[in-house]
Amino acid sequence: MQTNKKPRIIGAVLTTALLCTTAVACSGGDSDAKKSDGSPATAAKALTAALKKTSDAKSAKVQMTMKMPGTNGGGDLEMAGVVGWEPSVMDVTLQGSALSTEPDAPDESRLIHRDGVMYLDLGAEGAKQAEGKRWMKMDLKAMAEEAEKSGDPASGDLMTKSLENVNQDPAQQIALLLESPSLKRVGTQKIDGAEADHYKGKLTVAEMLKTNDALTDVMDEKERKALLKNLEKTGVKGYDIDVWVNGDELPVRMDVKTKSPEGDIDISTKYSDYGTVVKAETPKASETLDLLEMFKKLDKEDPSA
């Protein structure tokens, strides 16, 4: 599957969508919380309760900001909307410098995910490059399989990881924090005007590989192994994780600084309205252009591309 002939705007927006979904966790936390004593055991007990309630909630509204290093795919990205993690579903709006990497790229784009397929709004200018179709359809599983068949395992691996991480499940982020040997409660802090307990910890990939019992309640053994294997492949060195939990034992903010070979990736996410309905209505087939089919068509026109 060759991609070097794809229109510039489509390529830029696709890159942003994949960056959004391959982020493992949602970034470096504040240091202004009030200091207080809190044993690791007490912190773990509180977070375990939050993990279960978050997993049971199955959906929430989100507001996320992401700061990425590098000039190729780097920049800032904001995401706001609703997500569900059982089943995996998403309906969000994206904006930021990471999205507008081409002069005619849209300032804002909508991303819908349902049943393993992503739909991205290309904007008016993008539609001109996409046979007049406003929406780009990305079946990541089918794209991964096609990449493997065509001898491009790196692209296939990227698509597979994107599909696996697209649900942005906050329960998985709590599970990661529970793995930290430095886990502690550092005090309370107001998040959007309401008091929340602030927990933090550092975690290396090696430490996560050594102990992963905290993942048991939200993922089966196969899912846990896949998660850990994917983290190793990315070259990620470790994480600084901060979580704020409200009086209802639900996370209202999660910050994770991911230390990667290219530099730190900072993601901060606020959650609210747990249990909200996520409709995520997909666009009509007549309004969509299948990205995989577009690639196949380009390859037939010029196999050497």
Q: What is the pLDDT of residues 2-11, one digit of tens each?
A: 444 445 555 5
Confidence of residue 1 (pLDDT cuts 50, 70, 90): very low
Residue 229 φ/ψ, nearest 5 degrees: -65, -40
Interacting residues of 146 by C-beta distance below 8 A, sequence separation 6+: 1, 156, 292, 295, 296
b/e code 235-247 from CB counts within 10 Å (16+ = b): ebebbbbbbbbbe
pLDDT the model gives residue 27:
31
Residue 242 scores a pLDDT above 70: yes
Give CA–CA dist 159/145, Å, rounded: 9
Tell me what pLDDT residue 37 has: 44
Q: What pLDDT was estimated at residue 168?
A: 61
State the pLDDT at residue 55: 92
Higher pLDDT, 231 or 277: 277
> What is the pLDDT at residue 184?
93
88-97, 228-237, 267-276: which range is least confident on average? 228-237
**How far apart, in whole angstroms, are the C-alpha atoms of residue 196 and residue 216?**
26
Q: What burial class does residue 190 get, using C-beta atoms within 10 Å of its C-beta: 0-12 exposed, 13-18 middle, 19+ buried?
A: exposed
**CA distances to 15, 198, 269 from 272, in Å:** 28, 16, 10
- pLDDT tens track for 12-55: 555 555 555 544 333 333 333 333 345 788 899 999 999 999 99
Do strands 194-204 and 59-68 pair parallel, antiparallel, or not at all (unpaired)?
A: unpaired
In this predicted structure, what is the pLDDT of residue 216?
54
The answer to whether residue 182 scores a pLDDT higher than 80 is: yes
How does pLDDT run across 66-76, given as a tens digit for each residue?
Answer: 887 764 555 78
Distance (Å, whole) CA 114 – CA 111: 10
Four-way CATH pick for 8-293: 2.50.20.20, 2.170.120.20, 3.40.50.720, 2.40.50.140:
2.50.20.20
Per-residue pLDDT, 224: 64
What's the rounded Cα separation, in Å, for the pair 35 and 186?
Answer: 5
> Is pLDDT at 188 greater than 80 in this prediction?
yes
Model pLDDT, residue 185: 94
CB 109 within 8 A of CB 124: no
Q: What is the pLDDT of residue 219?
A: 58
**For residue 39, which phi and psi values (nearest 5 degrees)?**
-70, 155
The DSSP 8-state label assigned to residue 285 in this structure reads: G
